[in-house]
Amino acid sequence: LPFSIVSEESIRCLVDGFYDKVRQDSELGPIFEEALGQDWGPHLTKMYDFWSSLMLTSGRYKGNPLAVHQRLDTLQIGHFERWLGLFEQTCHELFGPEVAEAFLIRAHRIAGNFKLALFYRPDR
Ligand code: HEM
């Protein structure tokens, strides 16, 4: 496995590898293309900051991810399973099980929060 620890370098590699898969995915790819166009550079930089803030408490990410996803009108609840599947695959390509699990716990927790906020509609 390429990495034994969480570092800025291994986070960049995870983010790059993950979004390569996302970009090629028939359902997720078009959502990102629509939002980002052809220049993924700024998004990738933001995602390095995001994961660095979560995993290394670097504090570099400032933003409101929920609000950003609220604006994606083609986002469907089923897309989360696909997103998490690709993220899990990438984590296991790069890290041993303990480090992979540390990323995955956070990804699942945030995906769960997004799903509730975006799709849960109690009867009123
Ligand atoms: C940004 C799609 C799930 C974290 C974005 C953007 C897209 C997107 C298209 C770029 C929006 C823009 O810049 O206009 C999706 C889809 C998901 C998903 C289709 C699955 C259904 C997640 C999850 C996480 C996450 C589970 C966290 C673990 C982020 C963050 C940003 C982002 C941090 C940057 C927000 C900002 O601009 O500050 N996402 N996303 N996304 N996504 Fe997701």
ipTM of the complex: 0.98
10-residue mean pLDDT series, the chain (124 residues): 97 98 98 96 98 98 97 97 98 98 98 96 75
In a domain? residue 124: no
In a domain? residue 46: yes
pLDDT of residue 121: 85
In a domain? residue 21: yes
pLDDT of residue 124: 59
CATH code, domain with 17: 1.10.490.10
Q: Which residue from 68, 81, 114, 115 has its CB within 8 A of the most atoms of ligand 1, so it is best to mutate?
A: 68
CA 79, chain centre distance (Å): 12
State the residue range of the domain holding 108.
Answer: 8-119
- CA 30 – ligand 1 centroid, Å: 13
The tokens describing 36, both together, are 């980002």
In a domain? residue 1: no
Question: Closest ligand 1 atom, CA of 43?
Answer: 13
Say if ligand 1 is within 6 A of residue 110 CB. yes
In a domain? residue 42: yes
- CA 123 – ligand 1 centroid, Å: 28
Number of domains in the chain: 1
